[in-house]
Amino acid sequence: MLNSNAGMNPSIEPTVYVIDDNRSVRDSLLDLFTVTNMRAAAFASGTEFFETVDDADCPGCVVVDLQMPGETGLDVQSRLASLGSRMPVIFLTGHADVPSSVAALKAGATDFIMKPFVSQALLEAVDHAMQVNVERRQADAERDEVRTLADTLTPRETEVMFGVVSGLMNKQVAYQLGVCEMTVKIHRMSVMRKMKTRSLADLVRKVGKLRTD
């Protein structure tokens, strides 16, 4: 269990990163997460967080105050996005700020909670954020695996693959590429083997991941 910044190794297990300029709020949140057996670390500012955490894309989520002097919660969210972080962001705020709420949610925040907050509501929001983080990592891992498989294809096999998944029949792909149908069939079998697929539907699903930004 980690409740301070000392000796932090964020890669060990998912962590709740609390960023709030109010020390009493930080202490309260650390106590809450400690009691519920969650690994947590707290920071007084976004600057302190980014200077301390070596990997901004480590497993976990960020609970950040919306209104902070200097770097705001929205600034922290934007910086995380620029670093390619998949950590979900939960915003805490003591003031109803509709424009900021909309901006945060549009930028991908998983929850927006008003202070004073109900502990159970925050814990549920954190549980949801942790699950979102797991799903994002799984999706990225699957996409990376598919890209690795696709890199083993020859240029012609790639052309055949995209032709097939677009709904074209073998003879149509052959006509489009200026080759005989048997050549397409041979390339198609090679594509299925290299992409580790057993059906056209599975191949379509995997190619869909290649097209996901």
Average pLDDT, stretch 21-32? 94
Structure tokens at 101: 């709420």
The count of domains in the chain is 2
CATH number reported for the structural domain that contains residue 103 in this entry: 3.40.50.2300
Do 125 and 190 have their domain in common?
Answer: no
For every residue of the chain, DSSP letters joined together read ---SSTT--TTSS-EEEEE-S-HHHHHHHHHHHHHTT--EEEESSHHHHHHH-S-TTSSEEEEEESS-SSS-HHHHHHHHHHTT----EEEEESS--HHHHHHHHHTT-SEEEESSPPHHHHHHHHHHHHHHHHHHHHHHHHHHHHHHHHTTS-HHHHHHHHHHHTT--HHHHHHHHTS-HHHHHHHHHHHHHHTT-SSHHHHHHHHHHHT--
pLDDT (average), residues 21-36: 94
Q: How confident is the model at residue 96 (pLDDT cuts 50, 70, 90)?
A: low
For residue 147, is it within any domain?
no
Same domain, 50 and 90: yes
Structural domain contains residue 10: no
Q: What is the structure's pLDDT at 56? A: 79
pLDDT band (50, 70, 90) for residue 4: very low
Residue 11 predicted with pLDDT over 70: no
Q: At 165, which CATH number?
A: 1.10.10.10
Shared-domain flag, residues 71 and 158: no
The string of pLDDT tens digits covering residues 135-158 is 988 988 999 999 999 999 999 999
Q: Are residues 37 and 112 in the same domain?
A: yes
Query: What integer is the mean pLDDT of 93-97?
Result: 73
Segments forming the whole domain that contains residue 204: 152-210
